Structure 1
Amino acid sequence: MTRTLEPLAVPTGPAVLALLPALADALDGRGPAWLPVPAGDERETARLTSALDAGGPVDDATALVVATSGSTGTPKGALLSAAALRASGAGAYRHLGGPGSWLLALPAHHVAGMQVLVRSVLAGTEPVVVSPGAAPAELEVALARMPAGRRYGSLVPTQLVTALDHPGATTALASLDALLLGGAATPPALLTRAVAAGITVVRTYGMSETCGGCVYDGVPLDGVAVRISGGRVLLGGPTLAAGYRGHPEHPAWAEPGWFRTDDAGVLTDGVLTVLGRLDDAISTGGLTVVPQLVEAALGTHPGVRECVVLGVPDEHWGQRVVAVVVPTSQPPSLAELRDHVARTLDRSAAPRELHLRTGLPLRGPGKVDRRALLAELTRPRG
């Protein structure tokens, strides 16, 4: 009998626990392979099931096909085998100190939330679930319900920013053996604040194509290989997907055993530092500016709560550096931010334009939607 790929409607909230038996079967090679889709979102479900050929045959080794988080164009589906998912879970538990129970506060149709479910299956535990947009008080209550033993959570930086403004949630997060933080770069100021509050933060790097996080605090999990080629991060090892569904010749998989990411990075004594996406680099006045470095510098200013840096077309500079900032109670001025950045980076990297906002547009689990923000900033006025 031919194995098929079937849609798996993934709800938010405690109802997601009903999926655990299906995931356990998939990890044991029983039943169909699953394509996680957001329950209740008919449009997105139709988009994913059509693009990724739900109902069609799939390789016997495949357990999950996880859609990449791209918000435009045709989605790609990472072919994740049961062996890769098990290797990911085993590597994470070796790094963290052993199996445990989890807080699920991420959308589980994305890889980070799905991995909380998979790792719960592997540990024989049941996660405590809150909705992705849960208020800090809800996080506090949920964490209080977690059983004794090793306890873990997984959040994106924007969730942690909000939680740190709530003393009860902060104390509850500090009780975890580890809080995995991924999905987007962690601003240094946020990390400093969390560590000072006693939270054991583990910064993760990975993507759907690697079963989620495969590098923790810059260190690859057991068996994971990292190398840099032309400034680009390449990843290898047992957590890799088998490629993209329906795209066997995709250039990201051109070199057997390696996945070519879209990220720039450096390796120092075996520790990876991700500098940002290669296509986010800003060319201004003939110089190249890495937005994530500017964001890190801006994040240390007391008036900056969250920020994103973009390159906007400019007749004189080619691109001008623009900062979009969610301020604290004391909003900064452009002059203050330019001087602040210039203390640690070349002044050419300092923003030439500042926009203050109450929040940043997001896509997927916590990633800033740079494309939407850039379209907004460059839209003709009037």
Structure 2
Amino acid sequence: MRTGPTNSLVDVAGLRVGHAQRVGGGHLTGTTVVLPPPAGAVAGVDVRGAAPGTRETELLDPRNLVERVHAVVLTGGSAYGLGAACGVMERLADDGIGYPVAGGVVPIVPADVIFDLGRGGVFRAVPDATLGTAAYDAAGPSPAALPEKTATPDGGEALQGTAPSGGIVTVDGGGIGVPGGRAFTQRTASPTASGSIGAGTGALAGGLAGGVGTASTVLPDGTTVAALAVANPAGSVLDPADGTLAGARYGLPGEFGHLHTPTRQEVDAWNPVMAPSFNTTIGVVATDLTLTKAQCGKLAAVAHDGLARAIRPAHTMTDGDTIFGLATCATHAPGHDVFQDVLAAAADAFARAVAHAVLTATGREDAPAYLDVFPSAQGGGS
């Protein structure tokens, strides 16, 4: 097996990914949207955490009517952040994409959230419909330009502005209320990017900075399986024996070859304060095969095995761990043996995506980056 060309979710042909985030002015949060082709993708879901925040997941039960979804939204903001899906739904409707009904279409947009409230300083500085539209626009081949845009290191665009107290700043044709007139920065990121972007902007991972991570696998028969994870767990992402990233052990040849085992001194010195908190790791696994809703549900379920390999403990009472399974149906329906291989690859890909999320996250005062804590892991470790 090998990674796809970008080692990301967009290696599944037809999938697009958009990230938008706000930092400053009390914000440290964002939204990520996964868009299938206009006809949608067959979808399933598996919820394992005890504190999920979801939208439209009941539709994905194989017993229910709708077969395909037109977007999946992953977002910060806890339950408040579910409003970001409304912006994505509006964009889809404007584009004529959705489940056909008399008089128009109804876009099917399942969503899930992580808990990042207050991590930027203002409790209700959360994603809204406008941020959802920004993430949707960023997923296109030519992301919608924002006014006064500047290049950013992650390949996206940035907008800066200040709103008067209680006022509105116009961004990409929409309005954003900024608490107390504080300055903010709104940015988008490349569809293949990882780190402190999109829904993972304010993520924490067992005391370290968390974020968005992504990975892909091409099976010997050419089938592609890929994952995108928003790593924000209460549990640890480290191997307790040696401080390595637990998910990295499932890497494909060369993927994590640049990493070393941290020195014992660094491992012994790492003792984060693990105060009780709300967290949640969420994500998407996808393939280009033709699957049923039930098979997509199984795909999502087995991806949770990868989550549990990369995070310890997983699925706790304060995590809302949820994974969506998508099939674009671009190729044939798999036989039993191929589907077994797809399930195994999905679990490993999700574990790898969690590792990439933590490895590429940007450290901050309350959450250092992995390589800030374990600098010897990038060379010369024992």
Question: Fold match, TM over 0.5?
Answer: no
- Over alpha carbons, which structure has the higher Rg? 1
- RCO comparison, higher one (Cα < 8 Å, 6+): 2
Greater fraction strand: 1
Greater fraction helix: 1
TM-score (norm 1): 0.29
TM-score (norm 2): 0.29
